[in-house]
Homo-oligomer: A and B are copies of this chain.
Amino acid sequence: MNIYDIAELAGVSIATVSRVVNDSPKVSEKTKAKVRAIMEENHYTPNVFARGLGLNSMKTVGIICPDVSDDYMAGSVAYLEKSLRTYGYDCILYCSGYQYQDKVNAVELILKKRIDALLLVGSNYAGDGEETSTKYIAKAAREVPVFLINGYIHCQGVYCVLSDNYQIMYDTVSALTEAGRKRILFLYDSKSYSAAEKMRGYEDALRDNDLPIRKELEIFEQNKILKVRDRLLAEKGLEFDAVVASDDGMAVGAVKYARKKGLSVPEDVNIIGFNNSELAVCCEPELSSIDSRSEVLCKTAVDSMMMALSGHPVRHKKIIPCCFIKRRTTDF
């Protein structure tokens, strides 16, 4: 059942049918009603490919994230998908993995689908500061507007929405020092833009509070509870009275470590996670965590995208403040 059939049945031309489908104002209400009725009766559905061919767009946005099975990204993707649908856009999803070359391939592949815009979820796409590490994104931005969630790249055509990881980390570590903590462990699992921002906040806070920056207190480990616990157990001579982690999983690892060592939380060691995930309330004692308000990030990104797609100017960088969720692993 195609547009010709409908046109024939309705006794009009295909142009008219097309106009009805697109709700063009220059069709009389009467014909509209007639044609619509015929369409209903025959369960007519316009062929998206044919339409795509003509318009060179299918109202589809590409979403790439390293791994949707990650809690944070899953939440973001869920929100983005739902939100984009309300605007009539479909989502095609690619999970790129974390490897540079895989990310490049994913972007290249998804662009071939003639998406209307590209959404990159996770600061992993922001590169390492070197311009070459984000060249593939700059290239993509020449074809479609690119929206980066939780990362920043300065580049024409890429729009970034990020949570203020630096500030919240600075504030949190400062609060810890003010509460008398002297040896604050920083746990991180990636060299991404946001991880770097967190570390910068951590170091600046120490510096401004006259505490030394000790490299042995900055530990890089996978974001897995048991990995972190065992890593800490394996480090010998490592002493700390507080932990800030760049993800809840790592913070829970620290809690597990404390338990094994017979350290009490928060008395002996304050522990703070990041992302305010379900793990935080699962943890015992419940984990204080930083909420990066990913829904707000996503909402902002979608809003920006809709603006951009309709030709309006959009700011290249929007910063969303984070907030601290106090639970029972901290006492300040």
Q: Interface on A for B, CB 8 Å cutoff? A: 45, 47-50, 52-53, 56, 58, 60, 63, 67-71, 74-75, 77-79, 81-82, 85, 90-95, 112-114, 225-226, 249, 252, 256, 259, 278-279, 281-284
With the chains together, A63 CA to B77 CA distance in Å? 14
* Contact yes or no, A259 B279, CB < 8 A: no
* Contact yes or no, B113 A48, CB < 8 A: yes
Instruction: Knowing A68-B81, A81-B93, A91-B92, say if A282 contacts B49 (CB, 8 Å).
Output: no
List, in ascending order, chain B residues with CB within 8 A of A90's CB: 92, 113
Give, as a whole number of angstroms, the nearest-CB distance from A138 to chain B.
Answer: 15
Of the candidates B60, B95, B256, the one whose C-beta lies within 8 Å of that of A82 is B95
With the chains together, A90 CA to B256 CA distance in Å? 40
List, in ascending order, chain B residues with CB within 8 A of A58's CB: 49
* Contact yes or no, B95 A93, CB < 8 A: no
Instruction: Knowing A47-B53, A50-B53, A92-B91, say if A75 contacts B81 (CB, 8 Å).
Output: no
List, in ascending order, chain B residues with CB within 8 A of A47's CB: 53, 114
Nearest chain B residue, comparing its CB with the CB of A70 = B74
With the chains together, A77 CA to B75 CA distance in Å? 13
Nearest chain B residue, comparing its CB with the CB of A62 = B90
With the chains together, A225 CA to B113 CA distance in Å? 41
With the chains together, A259 CA to B284 CA distance in Å? 10
Nearest chain B residue, comparing its CB with the CB of A283 = B282
Name 29 A/B residue pairs within 8 A (Cβ), A-sorted.
A45-B112, A47-B114, A48-B52, A49-B52, A49-B53, A49-B56, A50-B53, A53-B53, A60-B92, A67-B78, A69-B77, A69-B78, A69-B79, A70-B74, A71-B71, A77-B93, A81-B93, A81-B95, A82-B95, A90-B92, A91-B92, A91-B93, A92-B93, A225-B278, A225-B281, A249-B278, A256-B284, A279-B279, A279-B282
